[in-house]
Amino acid sequence: MIQHIDVHAVLQESVSGIYTDLVTRPTGRVVRECIERAMATSAGDGAVARIDFTRVGCIDYSCADEIVAKLLRSRPGVLVLTGISDGHREAIEPVLAGHRLAVLIERPDGTLEAVGGPDAAAALLEELVVRRLAVRAPGGTFTLT
């Protein structure tokens, strides 16, 4: 089973019902801790969690680090980011590359892309296929199984 986490809802419930932007370290920390708690109550290690950024406005580098990078470092399971805009990606990608980490982004058509450090991204896709969590389509794209 794939767990679905709505980041906008987490932000509104945990930090502010007004703001839609993921900015500042304290905000990122609170949102990450909420996500971690939600994930802890779900399936065990190795599970897939779909983290949905739809309706999230701006995400800054501090929040990208505090949420995405730290979740990747602390969580042994597989994270799939959805609802990612070009602006979100602009913050997330360099932060992960700096850590030599990678995360999966699920495009609207369901195909997967690994972004972050190039080596980590390639290894992540490889691992997903080996674990049968994703399959390689004829066109070279990847989708979740």
Binding-site ranges for other proteins (CB under 8 A):
16, 18-21, 23-27, 57-62, 64-66, 69-70, 85-88, 90-91, 94-95, 98-99
| Closest CB 32 distance from other proteins, rounded Å | 11
| Closest CB 7 distance from other proteins, rounded Å | 15
Nearer Cβ to other proteins, position 25 or 131?
25
Q: Which residues pair with 103 in a beta bridge?
A: 115
Nearer Cβ to other proteins, position 21 or 36?
21
Contacts by 26-30 with C-beta closer than 8 Å and gap 24+?
A: 27/63, 27/66, 28/62, 28/63, 28/64, 28/65, 28/66, 28/67, 29/66
| Closest CB 72 distance from other proteins, rounded Å | 11
Nearer Cβ to other proteins, position 64 or 80?
64
For the chain, the straight-line distance linking the first and the last C-alpha, in angstroms and rounded, comes to 11
Nearer Cβ to other proteins, position 27 or 82?
27
H or E segment and range at residue 91: helix 86-99
| Closest CB 3 distance from other proteins, rounded Å | 24
